Structure 1
Amino acid sequence: MAASRGAKIGIVLVVLAVVLVGVLFVADRIAASTARDRIADETRKQLAANSVTYAAGPAVKIAGFPFLTQVLAGEYEKITIGLTRPQIENVQLEALTVDAKSVKADARDLMNGTGEVVAGEVTGRATMTWDNVRKLLEFTNLPQGVDPSAVDVKVVNNKIELRIPVQYQGFKVTIIANGNMVVEAGKVRLKLESVTTDQGNLPKFVNDLIQANKSRLQVSVKLPGLPYNLVINSAETTDSGLLVIASAKNVLLTGQ
């Protein structure tokens, strides 16, 4: 009889434990959802204030489980904000992803939609197609007779290749410039490594023109200012387009 009663008590305790875990899990997910909604709303406001449009988003993810332990500590592992096809300063991006780490916020402020949410470190990744990169190219010291809009851009053997049609004194030739994307003072430019043509034997005056401009030709990408005052650190090239990586510290995610 006593054994039977003990078994029943054990079952009741197990059931209560399961119910308690379930309640805590639901409460944890509700709290996480509320926080995501708050950050998404703040992001929409900031983007609208800066005339940034987008096809979808902002999609907000909060890393780490359980969430409530992060709330109690007032510090969050990582918050990711994603935008699909954002347009910034009339420049079309394919995607923009922002990862915020060491995020601090008062628990009550976060849940009530008040106060500040501050990230100690933010990293952004922006991608765009070569068609859109082409529109942002800025040339300095182009040879005479070059139409910048006619310049073709693609990736060949992991190098950026520019094909620049030139008309000079009735002669037509395509200059082929190869190099890598580099970042200097937060700006993306093409560091040229070689400049040739699509033809072999050229008239001397054409060769002279190419040689005279070979070391002077400069190409940069006029990128828009990124949200959260992100500063560009590096640029990577793919067959489909350009990937820009940027970062910032001590960023205010809400109330900007």
Structure 2
Amino acid sequence: MIFVVILGGLFVAADRAAVYFAETEAASKIKSSQGLGSEPDVSIKGFPFLTQVANSKLDEIEISIGGITATTEGREVEVTEVKAELRDVTVNSTFSSAVAGSAEGSALISYEDLTKSAPKGATVGYAGPERAAKGQVKVSGPLGDLVEGAGIDVPDAFKALLRDDFTAYSTVSLEGDKVRLRAEDLPTLPVPGVEDKLKDVVDYDLTIDGLPSTIKLDKVTATEDGLRFSGTGQDVDLTS
């Protein structure tokens, strides 16, 4: 009985060592093939691992990626919680080839970071459940600050009219690697000619830089935490 326990322990140790080696090799391959700035965190699920390798198929792999950013007009913000969950992954013995039968990708940009990317003087926040269900976020701030930050010239005689707060709701969409924010009807502004100019500033795009080609995000959802992105794929090649 003790002998069986010892053998079992050795097998588990060997299995875990093999997993560690495979995760390290996979991280290196993915970094190289996908052009990432740093190695991702790769976690191979399922036990025993060696049996999966013998069958050349892994049940599930989870990849977490850091260092992804989004930029607009020189302003850079962090994209967090970038993950890919891969299932039914067919591999060869050297892990130089890996194809996932299905994949799910996800990422998050918080409202704090969205505000960093917003026009000067604007704050981006949660718009409430009803508007969030429509894919909208709230863009607000002191009207005078927004006008000044946008570089819009206003005659001195009208500046006193810009003391109120500005609030608009922008619909968010995702097109490739671009996140688009487009304001719905702006509130009526007290200074003639300012509304159209301000809309040109409030509407802006964010370009997500550095996502691996294996992650195709095609859906964006406004949540209480920020904008959550997701996407799915079939027959995803991790090493090309």
Structure 1: distance between partners of 2:58 and 2:29 = 17
Gaps of 5+ in 1: 1-13, 138-147
The one of 162, 165, 172 equivalent to 1:181 is 172
Q: Which residue does 1:244 correspond to in 2?
A: 229
d(CA) in 1 for partners of 2:116 and 2:65? 21
* Distance in 2 of aligned mates of 1:34 and 1:125: 26
Deviations 1:208-242 (A, max 9, x none): 8648987xx74443333521342222112344432
Is residue 99 of structure 1 aligned with residue 80 of structure 2? no
TM-score (norm 2): 0.71
The runs of at least 4 consecutive aligned structure 1 residues that moved more than 6 Å come to 211-214
CA displacement at 1:16 relative to structure 2? 3.3
Which sections of structure 2, spanning at least 5 residues, go unmatched? none
For each residue in 1:155-181, what CA deviation from the matched residue of structure 2 results, as whole angstroms up to 9, or x when unmatched?
132441112633644342554211443
Q: State the 1:193 CA deviation.
A: 4.8
Residue by residue over 1:85-131, the C-alpha shift from the partner in whole angstroms, topping out at 9 and shown as x without a partner, is 5447765323321212221112x223xxxx31222322222222334
Matched, 1:119 2:100: yes
Q: Does 1:152 align with 2:123?
A: yes
* Cα distance change on mapping 1:218 and 1:84 into 2, 3 Å: closer
Deviation at 1:252, TM superposition (A): 2.7
* Mapped pair 1:222 → 2:207: yes
Distance 2:103 2:110 in 1: 24
Take 1:184 and 1:43, find their aligned partners in 2: how far apart are those partners? 24
Greater RCO structure (CA 8 Å; 6+ sep): 2
Match of 2:2 in 1: 15
Aligned partner of 2:60 in structure 1 is 78
TM-score by structure 1 length?
0.67
Distance 1:211 1:44 in 2: 45
Quick check: 2:86–2:100 contact (8 Å CA) kept in 1? yes
Which letter maps to 2:62?
T
1:37 CA displacement: 1.3
Q: Distance in 1 between matches of 2:70 and 2:60?
A: 25
| CA distance 1:96–1:156, shift in 2 (3 Å) | same
Partner of residue 109 from structure 2, selected from 117, 120, 128: 128
Percent identity of equivalent pairs: 25
Q: 1:229 to 1:81 in 2, by over 3 A?
A: closer
Native 8 Å contact 1:39 1:60 kept in 2: yes
